[in-house]
């Protein structure tokens, strides 16, 4: 018995949606506490190098990156966060040619926070094949403490800087 065009169309649409990742289901690679556009990010081997507390406000953030053999060395300086926060870093490889790094508190929903600010420095390596990346973009996200219901449901991702690789 021949199938109706409607059944064939819905079957084709389901196959197309599954092949392109356009389904309503969440990816199995989801890491807790990441914004939806970062769900399939991987943990980056970029760690806190130094913290200077007592910062009253934001200063200019410095981002540098140097391509090496099989990796990219990344340094990010003067990123403002709260005192006593453990910071986590993530890498996204979605944009062709660009390594995207997200720096955010590990605990995005703290019960209480210390007042004041600290300038954090980060450094580390990103594994990369030769020519995989031509630039590095670094983003920051603050915790959700004090985010008001109805205004923002979670803290926004903010671009700190982009640097081209030599």
pTM of the model: 0.78
Domain count, the chain: 1
Domain containing 66 equals: 29-164
Q: How far apart are CA 90 and CA 106, in angstroms?
A: 11
Q: How far apart are CA 76 and CA 124, in angstroms?
A: 9
Tell me if 115 is assigned to some domain.
Answer: yes
Query: Pick the residue with more confidence: 149 or 14?
Result: 149
Tell me if 62 is assigned to some domain.
Answer: yes
pLDDT at 60 (0 to 100): 92
User: What is the arithmetic mean of pLDDT over 23-28?
Assistant: 48
Is the backbone of residue 21 left (phi > 0), alpha (psi -120 to 50) or beta?
A: left
Tell me if 11 is assigned to some domain.
Answer: no
pLDDT at 74 (0 to 100): 96
pLDDT at 43 (0 to 100): 92
Tell me if 18 is assigned to some domain.
Answer: no
In sequence order, what are the beta bridge partners of 140? 103, 158
Confidence of residue 152 (pLDDT cuts 50, 70, 90): low
Q: How far apart are CA 32 and CA 109, in angstroms?
A: 12
Lowest mean pLDDT among 27-31, 49-53, 112-116, 148-152: 148-152
Q: How far apart are CA 109 and CA 155, in angstroms?
A: 10
Tell me if 4 is assigned to some domain.
Answer: no
């Amino acid at each position: 018995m021949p199938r109706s065009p409607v059944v064939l169309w819905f079957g084709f649409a389901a196959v197309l949606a599954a092949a392109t990742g356009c389904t309503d289901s969440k990816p199995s690679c989801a890491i807790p506490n990441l914004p939806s556009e970062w769900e399939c990010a991987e943990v980056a081997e970029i760690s806190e190098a130094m913290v200077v507390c007592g910062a009253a406000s934001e200063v200019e953030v410095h981002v540098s990156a140097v391509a090496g053999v099989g990796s990219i060395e990344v340094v990010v300086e003067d990123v403002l966060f709260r005192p006593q926060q453990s910071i986590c870093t993530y890498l996204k490889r979605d944009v062709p040619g660009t390594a995207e790094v997200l720096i955010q508190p590990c605990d995005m929903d703290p019960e209480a926070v210390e007042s004041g600010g600290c300038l954090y420095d980060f450094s580390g390596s990103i594994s990369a094949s030769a020519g995989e990346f031509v630039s590095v973009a670094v983003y920051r996200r603050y915790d959700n403490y004090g985010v008001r219901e109805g205004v923002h449901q979670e803290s926004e991702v903010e671009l700190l800087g982009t640097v081209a690789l030599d």
